[in-house]
Amino acid sequence: QLQLQESGPGLVKPSETLSLTCTVSGGSISSSSYYWDWIRQPPGKGLEWIGTIFYTGRDFYNPSLKSRVNIFVDTSKNQFSLRLSSVTAADTAVYYCARRDYDPNYGMDVWGQGTTITVSS
Amino acid sequence: DIQMTQSPSSLSASVGDRLTITCRASQGIRNDLGWYQQKPGKAPKRLIYAASSLQSGVPSRFSGSGSGTEFTLTISSLQPEDFATYYCLQHNSYPLTFGQGTKVEIK
């Protein structure tokens, strides 16, 4: 079955750029049936949607992060990635990737296990 | 942006209790809503999609209802493994938005 696995540096310094990758296994990222999302959760807080990408490269972002975030897809590697620039301590969170159905009725059905990112000097 | 107001933010309950959690959308979202359960240190797990459809493998004590702006998640008889935090998520329009979460604790 489909699995998602996040990978990233663990620790990022303030003002630097965070880069995360989600590797898709057991299915193709090039499916026209799904979007691919990034979500984050600061320690002890709720979930925040960051943005999404379709295999064609079509993307949408949360306006609260839009000026700092970029999501892109690499279909040859079956991966999609997140870049978040100018990070601060407020970007410390668990970052999840997820698959979401193209039909807005269905939502996110498969999630990665999450990767913890700490912003600190 | 569509705001999702979830209530209560926390509750204490006993095994066997019936629970209802509510999410209210700031504008109509048809039935483009899901409910998720999250346990500490784990990724969210989908329980309900399309507001009222039970995810495969999820016990039938979980149910969802609603359409438009008012949605509910009901647990008919709380089990020990149900103590967790629950979130609603609207995926009708961008940006996607979650409710603030409901933490269900043991009384």
Query: Residues of A with CB below 8 A from B1's CB?
Result: 63
Task: Compare CB distances from B49 to A63, A106, A112 and report the shortest one's residue.
Answer: A106
CA atoms of B31 and A57, how far apart (whole Å)? 27
Residues of B with CB below 8 A from A107's CB? 32-34, 46, 49, 89, 91
Which segments of chain B have a pLDDT < 50?
none
Query: What pLDDT does residue B107 have?
Result: 86
Q: In this structure, what token pair is assigned to residue B46?
A: 């989908």
Q: Nearest residue of A to residue B93 by CA position?
A: A104
Interface residue A49 vs chain B (CB under 8 A):
yes
Of the candidates A48, A60, A109, the beta carbon closest to that of B94 is on: A60
Gap between the Cα atoms of A120 and A43, Å rounded: 14
pLDDT, tens only, A42-69:
999 999 999 999 999 999 999 999 999 9
Average pLDDT, chain A: 97
Residue A119 in contact with residue A87, Cβ under 8 Å?
A: yes
Contacting A with CB below 8 Å, chain B residues are 1, 30-34, 42-46, 49-50, 55, 87, 89, 91-101
The residue type at B98: F
Segment A29-47, tens digit of pLDDT = 999 999 999 999 999 999 9
Which helix (H) or strand (E) segment is B34 a member of?
A: strand B33-38
Residue A31: which residues within 8 A CB-CB, separation 6 or more?
Answer: A55
A62-98, pLDDT tens digit by residue?
999 999 999 999 999 999 999 999 999 999 999 999 9
